[in-house]
Each structure stands twice: as C-alpha cells, then as structure tokens.
Structure 1
C-alpha cells in the first residue's frame, strides 16, 4: 500500500513540475510588454514600523526612478525608533510626503497612505525593498492593457552571504516567481507581494482597500481583486530586492506568518472554492492549488520521514530509488530553468542538495505547525522580524 501511495505521489509531483514548466514558459515567451505609453501619476506608498535601518536605502532607490510622474508617501505607523526622523529627512525632495499615525498595522498604514494619495496607480512597497532605477517604468508596462487591474513585480533576496540566505534566494526564484509566472498564464495570481505591487487606485477603493481580517494583507487584497474577475499580471522585468531574515528564528517567524495567513485566506474565501460564479480561474485553479500546496507540504514532511526510516531499517528498494531519482531530476530541471530565465547567479545552483533535503523540510514543518495552531484557534500577529539594514545592492557579491 505504501509503495502504491509513493508511486502515485511521484506521478503527481512530476505532473505538477511539468505544469510549472509549460505555463511559465508560455508566460515568459509572451510577456515582453512594450513601453508604457500612459502618463498616469503614480503614488508610491511605503508603510513602516521601526524601520530606521532600512528606510533610507529604500527611499533613496525610489527617488532615483527614471519614470518621473510620481510621489512617494512614507507612512510611519507609530514607530518607537527613529523611523519618523529618517522619513522627514527626505522632505528635501519635493515629491516626498511624510505621514504619521498611531500604530494599527501594515494594512491600516497602506489604507492611510491610499487615502492621502493623488495617483491613479498605487505602488505599494515594503520599507526594506529597494528598486533598480528602471523598476517603476517596467512595473507600469502591463497597464498598457486597460484590462489590467494590478501587477506583481519580481522580488529577489539582496543579502546572500549565508547558506540560509542563499536558500531563501533560491526559494524566491523557484517558488514565488515561478508560481507567479504559472498563475499569470492561468489568470489566477493569488498574491501580489508587499515588496513590489502596483494597483489601479479605483480598483483598490472598490474592494474596500487592504483588509485587517488576516495577517497576509497582500494576499488578501489580491484575492479580493481576483475574485471580481479583474486581470492581474506578473512582470519579471520589474525587480525589487528585499532583505531576507538572517537568523533561523526570524526566518521561522516570517514563514509561519505567511503560512498561517494562507490558512486564514483559504477559510475567508472558501465560498469561491471550485466556483464559476466570480473570478472563475481563481475558484477553479488558483485557490484549489493553494490548498493543494499547503497540504502537500504537510504530506511531504511525513513522506520524507517515512523514506528516511524505511532506508535506515529496511534498506533500499527499486521503487524507492525510482521515486527519489524522479523527484531529484524534476527539482534540478526547475532550479536550472528558473535560474536561467531570471538571469540569476548560477552559483546558487550548487545549493540545491541543502535546499531539497533540509530547507524544504523546514518549510514543511512550518506548514504543519501553522496548520495545527490554526485548527486549535491559536491567534498570531504580524511577528515583526529584526531588520539589519542589509538592503544595499552590491551586485558583484550576488
């Protein structure tokens, strides 16, 4: 029975990998947008809470954009450090606005910034993100299509000195960005990242702004927009670099929030699961795949433990060798392909053994922990991680 289950799993895993490749290749070959020919005024909103170490580099990258019709709105969400002081130092730029409010969370800060914005397009950015000089102009390209309501950019890890950080860089390349290429091709992007996302302001207002219902406000607003049948795009050309957690404690906290919040999203939008009524691609493909991924991560943890115990106590067997070989081949194809199309550092490829054998199991363990806590009704918060001010782009060291 166990043999049949593992073989079935191998077939599912192979089919999933093939779908990733087919859809992402189609998106990659058909997503070279022309130059944005609109003249929309853009409001870049940067919510921040205790971000004195990262905010300066973030804003410096924003004021150097080649697209020149924009304002920068920095929203201090009741910080207890020097964040507000750092923000006000940028008032020397005429297109910078600094707002402050009592602490209410990232979603409330984004809504506050939206309320005071002048632009017809909102670009929401984390305070630890940094843009290349042409990122904004490339992020706007998909808006050449009037049907496009929102655009997700390409998030990359900037600090990569440690093994944990290199594996997070791989995860962003393989998982997050490859997923978005696939989902864009299927017209059901489930999340626009907080590090770099653009929205038509009227659509954001239509869905009621950012929701405080979940701890993943970026995924929540994406679902709300997609549910209404709006078109959401992903562009790999628009790049933002983000500071990844450097300690395992902060890494676990961040991934726990992401996973716990995804369970909240599934519960909140369960009424459209397998539904054709609104945002049919989201209900038929996007949300079911999100559920599948969550529980597949839990299954992967137990399958991995079973395989280790099986080999340790009972030795190898032909079907086990076939299963492991299939998984390794598929994972290597994905890693090589995604590094190639993302024009990434090819040295990251040599970290795949650690990524597959250990890193992925940590992610699976986080998923299991978040699932148990969610079922038990244990609440979580944003769990802010420690920032070190590593959001400095140093390309030769990438």
Structure 2
C-alpha cells in the first residue's frame, strides 16, 4: 500500500513539475512575441462600472479612468440598487463630462453589466470592477490587440493594490504567478478561459452575439469568456494593461471570495461540459483549456493531501518515502519560475520572501476551500455571490 501511494505521489510531483515547465515556456514565448502594433483605431469605448455598495472605492476608480491618454470613451456607472451612499457618490462625479450614471433595482453584477451594455454607445466595451484603478495608459494598451480584426476580447493585467499585511502580499504574489502567468500561457495556447472582472475589453457585437453576461453562474466573467471562446473567437492578454484591485484584507473575506470563485468554476465546467475534448466546438478551449482547469483543480487537491501524508509519515515514522528530493526539486523550479515572473511583471522582488508562506500555508487554505466547494457543489448545496466589505484601499500609493 505504501509503495502504491509513493508511486502515485511521484507521478503527481512530476505532473506539477511539467506544469511549471509549460508555464515557463509559454510565458517566455508570450513575453517575447506580444508586442502589439500601436493602436491607431478610432473606436469609441464604453467603460462600464457596475456598483453595489461601493461608496468607499468608486471615487478612486473613476478618478483613474478620467485620466486616460486615449480620449474617445465614456464611463457608465451602473448603480445596482445600492443600500449605502454609492448613488450619491456616483452623482458627485457627473462633473466629469464623459461620466454617465444609471441606476436600477438590485439584480446582481451580471445584470448590472448587461444594463450598462444595453445603454452604452461604444463598439468596444471595457468592463471593470468598482475597486479597479487604471494607470494613465491602461486603456490604450488594452485596445492594442483590437488592431487585429480576429480579436474579440482582451484581458488586462490585474495587480493587488493593498499589500500592507501578509495576506495582501501573498495575494499580490498569487496574482502575479497564479493568475497573470496563467493567462500568458493560455494566450499562447489560444484558449484563455477567464477575462477578469477587474479589467476586460470586448467587442460589443460579440458580447451581444453570445447573449451578454449570463446569470446562470457565480462567475459571470469566466462564463462570458467561455461563451466567446466556444465560438472560436480570439482572446488576448496584455501584461502592460494594468489595473490595481482591492483584495480582501481579512481571512474571512478571503475565504468567501475564493469559495465563490471555486464554486462558480464548477458551475461553469458543468455548463460547458459538452465542449470537453471536442475540437469542433471551442477548439483549443475544449481540448486544452477546460481539461487543464479540471486537471489543475484536482491535481492541486491531491498534492495538498500528498504533502499532508508526507508530514504525517515523517513525524510519526521518520520516513519521507524518498519523495522529499522530488518535492524539493519541484519547489526550486517553481522559485525560478516566480523569479522570472516577477521580472517580466516588473514587480517587487521582496515578494519572493513570502513564497515559503505561500507554499506551506496560503495554497493549502485555497485547496481546502476547493475541497469544501467541490463537496457542496456535488451535494447540490447552493451559495450566494458573497459581497465583500470594501475598505477604500484601492490606491496606488499602497503598492
């Protein structure tokens, strides 16, 4: 029995090592071949900001939007029936000539985005969260891939603004390594599965073609991306199109957010299971993207259980099953990967010091949340959107 467990663990470690290798190869290719032509189009852009109880973050968000170097755009703030002072804050921003404020009864983020798209004038829509803040050239950089008529959607580069505590620094590190590097790889493989809610651009006609944002799942951004990719449209990731976001500062809010993301992912997997390994529908998405999401979800759960097994074995029996060298090799390779990622993202090298915490504690929390979400999803236990409390820390000076 112990031999079979050791063999299985060895296979898992090799799979994770191969995954890291693929991350590296694809990110190098994306970084060295993703210089897009300077955007010379004259598309009118509609930036849509859905809001529900965002009075603390909305001002910082809009102030960053009105300073964009690309000047053919409108900003549509959609108040989704907020119960705080969000609507008043939104109206106070109407002195900016390109700001429009809409309000509607509360029906969720997807509904608010669809409402904004319905009333927008742009042929390109940029959907952002109300805690997102842009650099002055973010919009221009986000538009560059649209010089290619085959591109239907573009993901920007999301970074964490509030990094004062250990949780914030680990989320910043995770966004750099686990989310943005992930998108670089899938851009190269032509199967980007998620354009983040914090910063994403779409051709309006394509969004309307797929029926807009769906209310079927808890991850409307992933759901829309999958719908677009399923039809064979090209999706890009631009590392220079940067948006900073306010990440959860308490472990309670962090767990709520990750639970929703994970539970929603299972909903999307089930919704689009028909394209799994189906090259004719969704092409690379069905053959590579969706299978990888399933693979990475379950392999990470197994690795967590494997590490737990090794620790128990080492403590009680003084036996590591000769797997420690393999785990050590895997961690070394991943450290090389994160060094490279920090370099290409022009990030703070000091974040590397939080890598041990990330491996030993942070990731294990995420994986146990994944296990909980999977069990509850299989049991049919429903969950809600779990709106997080905002602190108004979406400020660049915090980075």
Q: Could you tell me how far apart the structure 2 residues matched to 1:157 and 1:201 are?
A: 28
* TM-superposed deviation, 1:212: 0.1
> How do residues 1-398 of structure 1 correspond to structure 2 at under 5 angstroms?
1-317=4-320, 319-394=322-397, 398=399
Looking at structure 2, the residues matched to 13 and 112 of structure 1 have their Cα atoms a distance apart, in angstroms, of 42
2:153–2:203: 8 Å Cα contact kept in structure 1? yes
Q: Distance in 1 between matches of 2:277 and 2:339?
A: 33
User: How far apart, CA to CA, are the structure 1 residues paired with 2:192 and 2:142?
Assistant: 16
Q: Give yes or no for contact 1:297–1:367 (8 Å, CA) kept in 2.
A: no
Q: Check conservation: 1:23, 1:182, Cα contact below 8 A.
A: yes
SS in 1 for 2:395: coil
Aligned residues of 1:297 and 1:363 also touching (Cα < 8 A): no
**Separation (CA, whole Å) in 2 of partners of 1:323 and 1:378:** 38
Q: In the aligned structure 1, how far is the partner of 2:55 from the partner of 2:168?
A: 22
CA contact (8 A) 2:310 2:320 kept: no
TM-superposed CA distance for 1:318, in Å, is: 6.5
What SS does the corresponding residue of 1:122 show, helix, strand or coil? strand
Per the normalisation by structure 1, the TM-score is 0.98
TM-score when normalising by structure 2: 0.98
Structure 2, gaps ≥5 residues long: none
Q: Alpha carbons of 1:122 and 1:91: their partners in 2 closer, same or farther (altered >3 Å)?
A: same
Asked if the contact 2:163–2:169 (Cα under 8 Å) also holds between the matched residues in 1, the reply is yes
Residues 77-102 of structure 1 deviation map (CA, whole Å, 9 limit, x = unaligned): 00000000000011111211100000
Q: What is the count of residue pairs matched by the alignment? A: 396
* Inter-partner Cα distance in structure 1 for 2:326 and 2:382: 38
Cα separation, partners in 2 of 1:185 and 1:252, compared to 1, 3 Å: same
Separation in structure 2 between the aligned mates of residue 316 and residue 238 of structure 1, nearest angstrom = 49
Q: Is the 8 A contact 1:151 1:199 kept in 2?
A: yes
State the 1:300 CA deviation: 2.0
Residues 180-210 of structure 1: CA distance to partner in whole angstroms, max 9, x if unpaired?
Answer: 0000000000000000000000000000000
| Contact 2:12 2:303 (C-alpha < 8 Å) held by counterparts | no
Assess if the C-alpha contact under 8 Å between 1:257 and 1:383 holds in 2: yes
**Counterpart of 1:365 in 2: which secondary structure?**
helix
Instruction: Tell me how far apart the structure 2 counterparts of residues 96 and 88 of structure 1 sit (CA, whole Å).
Output: 9
Unaligned residue ranges in structure 1 (runs of 5+): none
Looking at structure 2, the residues matched to 378 and 321 of structure 1 have their Cα atoms a distance apart, in angstroms, of: 38
Contact 1:6 1:323 in 2 (8 A): no
Deviation at 1:10, TM superposition (A): 1.7
